Structure 1
Amino acid sequence: MFSIDAINHADWSRIMDIQHKAYADDYPESVDVLKAKWLLAPETCLAIRNDEDLLGYCLAHPWPINDTPKLHVELNALPETDDLFIHDLALHPDARGQGAAKELVLSVLNIARLNHYKQVHLVAVQGSEQFWCSFEFEILAESQISAGYEDEALHMSVHLK
């Protein structure tokens, strides 16, 4: 049904289309900002496909849990850490409700375990808290979220076993 593999150069126009449809005017970042994350951590940036059609993507990279990266800032280097940050996970609207998001999250968590990350964290937006809770993510109560996110955004993490 679905295949998950590494993001490649040919995926970027579709990724930008998916990002625009997923976030409208809320969070769209430039292709340069997103590509910088991918180029720094390609092993944790994934695409989910149905045959050749790109349905969604996940951009994740190392980042310490006591902080969240700023939106719209191009990263030039990554810090040494055993924490993985899911920067963005988005699906094309036509792919929702088919289990693609679940498969993508499970793949990222598996890669994190294989690479000996201790925990994975993210900023939940657009009311996605319950989705992330289904993967045992919990809200980090004493956390600061970088500027640019909605007031309702939540910093969440899961400890890997």
Structure 2
Amino acid sequence: MPWRPMTPHDLDDVKVLADRIHLDHPEDRDVFVERQAIYPDGCHVLVEGDALIGYALTHPWRFDEPPALNSRLGGIPRDAATYYVHDVALLPEARGKGYAAQAGALLAAHARSAGFANMSLVAVNKSQAFWEKLGFKVRTVPGLQAKLFSYGADAVMMVRELA
């Protein structure tokens, strides 16, 4: 499988990818550095040949409380009750090859082995249908609309039960 653990040496390349892929959702390099440092088991890169063509950032978090975009976490909370998918991002030339579905399976396997009963994410950039194919369902959370809107007009909270 072309997915491998992300290392601190990958972070500059991950930031370049993020800037190319998420034009409307920029994040500071510190966000990637912190996530890789506090939960390295949830950070992966996609390599094809010698090129980095995608990445995944995930970590335990509070259920129904997605972190704000471009924000540092300060650590994993003790009351983390969901395995949060911060981002799965692929360059356009990497899409359509099954890599995103591989990432979904890899992340779900890790979430289960870590003891989580569910995974959650905020779907952006018209990705809701993709996540639904992986078993995620839209979840309406009262009071979350303003935060979701900061991710984009089409952003929706989604949850996948793992039991």
Identity %: 27
CA deviations on 1:14-59 (whole Å, 9 max, x unpaired) are 21121112111x1110110121112111111111222432221110
Which residue of structure 1 aligns with residue 82 of structure 2? 83
CA contact (8 A) 1:21 1:93 kept: no
| Unpaired segments ≥5 residues, structure 1 | none
Query: Which whole-Å CA distance do the structure 1 matches of 2:31 and 2:48 have between them?
Result: 26
- Structure 1: 4+ residue segments shifted above 6 A: none
Which residue of structure 2 aligns with residue 64 of structure 1? 62
- Structure 1 counterpart of 2:41, one-letter code: E
Shift of 1:12: 1.5
Shift of 1:3: 2.0
Query: Which whole-Å CA distance do the structure 2 matches of 1:9 and 1:40 have between them?
Result: 12
Q: Is 1:140 equivalent to 2:142 in the alignment?
A: no
Query: Which whole-Å CA distance do the structure 1 matches of 2:26 and 2:98 have between them?
Result: 24
CA contact (8 A) 2:121 2:157 kept: yes
Query: Which whole-Å CA distance do the structure 2 matches of 1:10 and 1:83 have between them?
Result: 28
Query: Which whole-Å CA distance do the structure 1 matches of 2:50 and 2:159 have between them?
Result: 32
Task: Output the aligned Cα RMSD.
Answer: 1.4
**TM-score when normalising by structure 2:** 0.91
Which residue of structure 2 aligns with residue 45 of structure 1? 43
Query: Which whole-Å CA distance do the structure 2 matches of 1:104 and 1:74 have between them?
Result: 23
| SS of 2:15 mapped into structure 1 | helix
**What is the correspondence of 1:19-58 to structure 2 with a 5 Å cutoff?**
19-24=18-23, 26-58=24-56
| SS of 1:49 mapped into structure 2 | strand
Kindly indicate whether structure 1 or structure 2 has the higher relative contact order, using CA contacts under 8 Å at least 6 residues apart. 1
Aligned length: 159
**TM-score when normalising by structure 1:** 0.92
Query: Which whole-Å CA distance do the structure 2 matches of 1:126 and 1:105 have between them?
Result: 17
| SS of 1:66 mapped into structure 2 | coil
- Structure 1 counterpart of 2:10, one-letter code: D
